[in-house]
Amino acid sequence: MFKFKNKTLKGFFFLLFSSLCLVSFAQKTPYHTKDIVFKMIKSINDLERLKYSLKIIERGKKGYNYYESSVKLNRKPRKIYLYIKGIELLWVDGWNGNKAYVKPNSFPYVNLSLDPLGFLMRQDQHHTLNEMGVDYFGSVIRYIATKYGDKFDQYFRIEGEERINNRPCYKIIIDNKDFGYENYTVGDNESITSIARKLHVSEYMILEINPKLNDYFDILKRGQVLKVPTAYAKHVTLYIDQLYFLPISIKILDDKGLFEQYDYHFLQVNPKIDDAEFTKDYKDYKF
C-alpha cells in the first residue's frame, strides 16, 4: 500500500480531500437547514392521503412500549383505518358519533365503539387518533422554528444525508439547550391536554413529572400548580424524506433519555384510496 512519507504533503492531501467532501455535500444538498424544515411543513400542509406502516417506541409507566400498525389516512375529511396484529380500527369524522369502530382480537370478540379520547384507547399511550399521521409533529416543529426566529441556526442544524427506512433522507438535529421544567398555575376549565396544546408540549410528559396525577382525566383546579416542560423535547433527530419532504423518522429525547420514537415504513404519498376503504363493510376487512 502506498504511504505518504512527507507529513506536510500528507496533511495537504487530507485537507484537500476534506474540502472536496464538503463541496460534494454542498452540491448534493442545495438546501439550507431552514429551507428543508419549512419545505417539510409545506409538504405536510399539502398532503391529501397517506399509507404507511408505523413502528412506535414510547416510554411508559413500566418501561418502553412497542407498537406496530398499518395505516390508511385521508386528511380532509379526516378518515383513518388501522390494522394492529388482528385488531382493526376505523374512524371517520362525523360517523359513528365520532367514535372509533374497533374489532378486537381478544375478549369480548364483538365490535366496539370507543371514544378516541377515552381511557381504553389512551391508557399509557402518548397520543390519540387525533395525532395520527404527520400533522401533529409538523405543528410542533413549526412552532419551534417560528419561536426561535432569528436564532433558528442555534437550535436547528443539518447533519448530512442518510438512508433511513429504505429512503434517502436529510438528517436534521434540533438541540434545545434551554430544556427544563417550570411551574404552571392552572386557570379556569383547563385540562392536562389543553395545557399541553397551549404550551406545545407533551401531555404525557406532564403526567410523568407530576406523580400526583393519575392519568389524562384528572380534574384540575384553578390555582393548582403543576410542573411542565419548557419545550416539547430536549433533543430531536428528524429524518426528512428527500423526495416527499415528509418526516419518516422522529426520535425525541428529554433529560431522562429516549421519550418516544416514530418510524414510517413503506410510505405512499397521495395514493388512490377508494371511499369504500373507509367503511366497515369493505371487502378486505373483517369487522
- At 28-76, the pLDDT tens digits run 556 799 999 999 999 999 999 999 999 999 999 999 999 999 999 999 9
pLDDT cut 70: percent of the chain above it: 90
Q: Averaged over 241-260, what is the pLDDT? A: 98
Q: Averaged over 92-101, what is the pLDDT? A: 98
Residue given cell 409538504 in the structure block: 43
Q: What is the DSSP string of 35-72?
A: HHHHHHHHHHHH--EEEEEEEEEEEETTEEEEEEEEEE
Structural class in CATH, domain 181-229: alpha beta
pLDDT at position 30 is 64
Give the architecture-level CATH label for domain 34-178+231-278: Clam (2.50)
CATH 3.10.350.10 in the chain is located at 181-229
pLDDT cut 90: percent of the chain above it: 85
Task: Give backbone dihedrals phi and psi of 133, rounded to 5 degrees, phi first.
Answer: 105, -150
CB 33 within 8 A of CB 157: yes
pLDDT at position 107 is 85
Q: Averaged over 12-32, what is the pLDDT? A: 48
pLDDT at position 14 is 41
pLDDT level of residue 123 (50, 70, 90 thresholds): confident
pLDDT at position 31 is 77
CATH 2.50.20.20 in the chain is located at 34-178+231-278
pTM confidence score: 0.87
